[in-house]
């Protein structure tokens, strides 16, 4: 049986939107059909045209005119823009996958809650932040074994991979990530810190996750380690460059895990693992939606 590819539009022609396009071009289930921007001279739109997507230069208004060319819409603009666009997309009957910290829809971390979230029936889902995609699974892996009273994340990303969107919304990044550590990761309390590092050559995205656990023993440590290893494997299925930076450290009630993310080098160089992890998560989510849509077609057809 050959599968029908579900058509996708990308709103936003910046770093995230363009990286997303490359990943969609490789998908067996999805086909990028439209890229929506507001800048005639955008590099992303030029590339989109080259790869056969329909470029739209006048934002969401332009998309309205050709909205039938896509069923799933990725939002890769800003939280503020998505608050407006979310309504329009809903009216147009599109499924929105939001890569901004707007958090209109529920948080999706594919390795943790994609299967249980019933995304096929949701019209808007939120991909948290790159930091959230990289660290919530680690906290969840631990909270699956033992109660987590507190989770703290320190995300270090290279200055070069932090675009103006991230820089102007740094509070949203820390607040949204911290919220997801609780809501999806299962921590009772949480905190997120982000540091931009300008070193040359740029550093890979690196996250330190401190987790306070309610009880501890050698036996629990072994179980936690197994749970962590499993989670890292699941993540590696859709983010191959995700790995431990150093061995997890167990000390009393504190578990410290350091991970780094090497990107696939699609649009930006490999140091931009922070872009890869969120775009890969978004594509994974869309693929699950697409599978369900295809099934519906089979049943109805």
Partner 1 sequence: MGKQLVINDVTLRDGMHAISHQYSKEQIAELTRLLDDSGVDIIEATHGDGLGGSSIQYGISKETEDDIIRTAVENAKNAKVGVLLLPGVGTIEHLENAHQLGAQVVRVATHCTEADVSEQHIKAGVRLGMDTVGFLMMSHRTSPENLLEEAKKMESYGAQTIYVVDSAGALTMDDVRSRVSLFKQHLSTKIGFHAHNNLSLGVANSIVAIQEGVDRIDASLAGMGAGAGNAALEQLVAVMNRMGISHNVDLYKVMDAAENVMKPMMVRPVQIDRLSLMLGYTGVYSSFLLFAERAGKEYGVDARDILVKIAEMNAVGGQEDWIIGVAQDLAKEKQTKRGIEI
**What residues are labeled active site?**
130
Q: How far is the CB of 189 from partner 1 (least distance, A)?
A: 11
Instruction: Verify binding: residue 57, partner 1, rule CB under 8 A.
Output: no
Instruction: Verify binding: residue 49, partner 1, rule CB under 8 A.
Output: no
* Residue 86, helix vs strand vs coil: helix
CA 252 to chain centre: 32
CA 56, CA 34: separation in Å to the nearest integer?
7
Instruction: Verify binding: residue 252, partner 1, rule CB under 8 A.
Output: no
Nearer to partner 1, 123 or 262 (CB): 262
**Could you say which of 193, 220, 234, 292 contacts partner 1 (CB under 8 A)?**
193
Assess contact for 242 and 263: CB atoms under 8 A. no
Instruction: Verify binding: residue 167, partner 1, rule CB under 8 A.
Output: yes
**Could you say which of 196, 220, 288, 292 contacts partner 1 (CB under 8 A)?**
196
Q: How far is the CB of 44 from partner 1 (least distance, A)?
A: 21
Instruction: Verify binding: residue 171, partner 1, rule CB under 8 A.
Output: yes
Q: In DSSP terms, which residues pair with 146 in a beta bridge?
A: none
CA 46, CA 186: separation in Å to the nearest integer?
42
The overall longest dimension of the chain from CA atoms, in Å, is 61
> How big is the CA angle at 207 (ends 203 and 212), to the nearest 5 degrees?
160
Binding window for partner 1 (CB under 8 A); candidates: 34-42, 106-114, 139-147, 171-179: 171-179
What's the CA dihedral at 26, 32, 36, 39 to 10 degrees? 40
Interface with partner 1 (CB under 8 A) = 152, 154, 156, 159, 164, 167-171, 174-175, 191, 193-200, 203, 208, 210, 212, 245-246, 249, 254, 256, 258
């Amino acid at each position: 049986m050959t599968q029908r590819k579900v058509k996708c539009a990308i709103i936003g022609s910046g770093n995230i939107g363009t990286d997303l396009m490359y990943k969609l071009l490789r998908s067996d289930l999805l086909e990028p059909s439209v890229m929506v921007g507001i800048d005639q001279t955008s590099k992303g739109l030029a590339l989109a045209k080259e790869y056969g997507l329909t470029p739209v230069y006048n934002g969401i208004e332009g998309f309205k005119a050709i909205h039938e060319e896509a069923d799933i819409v990725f939002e890769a603009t800003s939280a503020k823009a998505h608050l407006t666009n979310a309504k329009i997309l809903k009216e147009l009957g599109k499924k929105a996958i939001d890569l901004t910290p707007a958090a209109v829809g529920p948080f999706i971390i594919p390795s943790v809650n994609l299967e249980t979230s019933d995304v096929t029936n949701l019209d808007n889902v939120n991909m948290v932040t790159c930091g959230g995609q990289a660290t919530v699974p680690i906290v969840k892996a631990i909270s699956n074994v033992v109660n987590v009273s507190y989770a703290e994340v320190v995300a270090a990303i290279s200055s070069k991979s932090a675009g103006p969107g991230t820089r102007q919304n740094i509070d949203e990044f820390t607040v949204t990530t911290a919220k997801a550590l609780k809501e999806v990761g299962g921590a009772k309390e949480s905190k997120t810190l982000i540091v931009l590092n300008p070193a040359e050559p740029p550093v890979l995205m690196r996250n330190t996750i401190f987790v306070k656990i309610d009880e501890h023993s050698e036996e629990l440590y072994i179980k936690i380690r197994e749970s962590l290893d499993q989670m890292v494997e699941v993540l590696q299925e859709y983010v191959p460059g995700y790995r431990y930076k150093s061995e997890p450290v167990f000390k009393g009630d504190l578990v410290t895990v350091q991970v780094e993310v090497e990107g696939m080098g699609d649009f930006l160089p490999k140091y931009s693992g922070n872009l890869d992890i969120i775009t890969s998560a978004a594509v994974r989510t869309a693929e699950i939606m697409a599978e369900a849509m295809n099934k519906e077609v089979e049943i109805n057809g």
